[in-house]
Amino acid sequence: MSQKKRLSAIMGTPVKVDASDPGNVDTSTSWPGVAGATTPSPDKRPNAARSVAAMWAASQSNQADPADTIVELDPDLCQPSELVDRIPDPTDHTFDAFVEQIREEGQHTPILVRTHPNLPGHFEIAYGRRRTRAARALGKPVRAVIRQLSDADLIVAQGSENLAREDLSYIERAYFAHNMVKAGITRDVILKAMGVHRPDLVNYLAVANAIPQLVLEKIGPAPKVGRPRWLTFAERIKAATPELISATLASPKLAGRTSDERFAAIFAALSPPSIRKSKPKFEAVKDAKGVRFASVERSSTGIRLTTDEQVEPGFGEYLAERLPELLAAYRAARG
């Protein structure tokens, strides 16, 4: 059965909820709650996140044991999925706070793993790599649920978890899509895993394909930078010479800056020369009565004259027809 058909086949079964202990269920997932966990707040995720999460839960209902057991695993035996969705950022200190939270409160939500297809005795993480890393830092086992997942199941689960994260940046989502394409995942599965439409996926892939890995590693996740600036940045990367890019990445001015600040510095350094030289200057042109009938915009590349047809109808057309005469007069005046 093709991957697309297998994914379709697992998506039509309604979710079965185990109501045997309603007071101890973590409603953010389909797993039984962990003792001592706080009650989750109402689901405020975007509609796409909720729909894909529901799709993932529905896909698993025909495989799930209502008494899914949360086990404790050695975090060193839990390997991340090959589909990378996180970009390391050495200047991000939120992970330290996350570790301290788990130290004080424990791990509220289990990770999801499957037996590793290539490493006997190991597990592959569908989601929960950050929790696994925190458990490793604390020298504690990581709470997990083990499922028999196909490759498509693993991808949809990982995509569902990604959509639920408020801190997953635009470029991380773009590279997650990029990595799925490199892994040979079909576009239909990628769209379902990310909960996006085809135009959104096209934009993600355009950005990820245009930005070299070295540039991405230097910038990091840039959590405050959205799609418009990444698209502009991709165009600047295409237009820049390899020498300029290398010199920019080697600049000592990037040291000690946050990921967003590094993006801004590199973004500015790769801007076209005409933008760096001067900013456009605007000037209103008024008649003898002080009424504005045109405006002049000056930049390093030329001058743009705009007439106001509501104030002086037809003047712009009159002026356009006489531009050759004005040019001849200008040249004659210059001798």
pLDDT of amino acid 5 = 39
User: Does residue 142 sit in the same domain as residue 254?
Assistant: no
In total, the chain counts a number of residues equal to 335
Among candidate residues 104, 164, 114, 120, the one with its CA nearest the CA of residue 144? 114
Residue 30 located in a structural domain? yes
Core vs surface per residue 37-57: b (16+ CB within 10 A) or e: beeeeeeebeeebbebbebbb
User: Does residue 27 sit in the same domain as residue 145?
Assistant: yes
DSSP E strands in the chain: the ranges are 71-73, 78-80, 111-115, 123-127, 142-146, 281-286, 292-299, 302-307
Residue 106 located in a structural domain? yes
pLDDT of amino acid 8 = 37
User: Which residue among 140, 165, 190 closes a domain?
Assistant: 165
Tell me how far apart the alpha carbons of residues 149 and 153 are, in angstroms, rounded to a whole number: 5
pLDDT of amino acid 10 = 33
Q: What is the 3-state secondary structure (H, E, C) of 116-154?
A: CCCCCCCEEEEECHHHHHHHHHHCCCEEEEECCCCHHHH
Residues 111 and 132 sit within 8 Å (Cβ to Cβ):
yes
Tell me how far apart the alpha carbons of residues 226 and 257 are, in angstroms, rounded to a whole number: 19
Residue written as tokens 């458990």? Answer: 135
User: Does residue 236 sit in the same domain as residue 309?
Assistant: no
User: Does residue 224 sit in the same domain as residue 308?
Assistant: no
User: Which residue among 271, 291, 306 closes a domain?
Assistant: 271
Tell me how far apart the alpha carbons of residues 267 and 279 are, in angstroms, rounded to a whole number: 17
Tell me how far apart the alpha carbons of residues 224 and 50 are, in angstroms, rounded to a whole number: 23
Among candidate residues 77, 45, 284, the one with its CA nearest the CA of residue 165? 45
Give the domain extent around 298: 281-333
User: Does residue 265 sit in the same domain as residue 300?
Assistant: no
Tell me how far apart the alpha carbons of residues 7 and 9 are, in angstroms, rounded to a whole number: 5
Residue 203 located in a structural domain? no
User: Does residue 263 sit in the same domain as residue 288?
Assistant: no
Residue 200 located in a structural domain? no
pLDDT of amino acid 236 = 93
User: Does residue 147 sit in the same domain as residue 227?
Assistant: no
Residue 177 located in a structural domain? no
pLDDT in 10s for each residue of the chain, 335 residues: 443 333 333 333 333 333 333 333 333 333 333 333 333 344 444 444 444 444 444 444 444 444 468 999 999 999 988 776 667 676 666 788 889 999 999 999 999 999 999 999 999 998 888 899 999 999 999 999 999 888 878 877 877 676 665 567 899 889 888 888 887 888 888 888 788 899 999 999 999 999 988 899 899 889 899 889 999 999 999 999 999 999 999 999 898 899 999 999 999 999 887 544 455 578 898 888 889 999 999 887 788 999 999 989 999 999 999 898 888 888 887 76
pLDDT of amino acid 55 = 44
With vertex at residue 227, the alpha carbon angle to CA 225 and CA 230, rounded to the nearest 5 degrees, is: 70
User: Does residue 152 sit in the same domain as residue 247?
Assistant: no
Domain tally for the chain? 3
User: Does residue 264 sit in the same domain as residue 161?
Assistant: no
Tokens representing residue 139 in the block: 């020298």
User: Does residue 28 sit in the same domain as residue 112?
Assistant: yes
User: Does residue 154 sit in the same domain as residue 28?
Assistant: yes
Q: What is the CATH number of the domain that holds 7?
A: 3.90.1530.10
User: Does residue 106 sit in the same domain as residue 236?
Assistant: no
User: Which residue among 250, 271, 292 closes a domain?
Assistant: 271
Residue 176 located in a structural domain? no
Pairing of the two strands 111-115 and 78-80: unpaired
Residue 207 located in a structural domain? no
Tell me the CA distances in angstroms from 190 to 80, 151, 184, one per residue in order: 19, 12, 10
Residue 183 located in a structural domain? no
pLDDT of amino acid 124 = 94
3-class state of residue 76 by DSSP:
helix
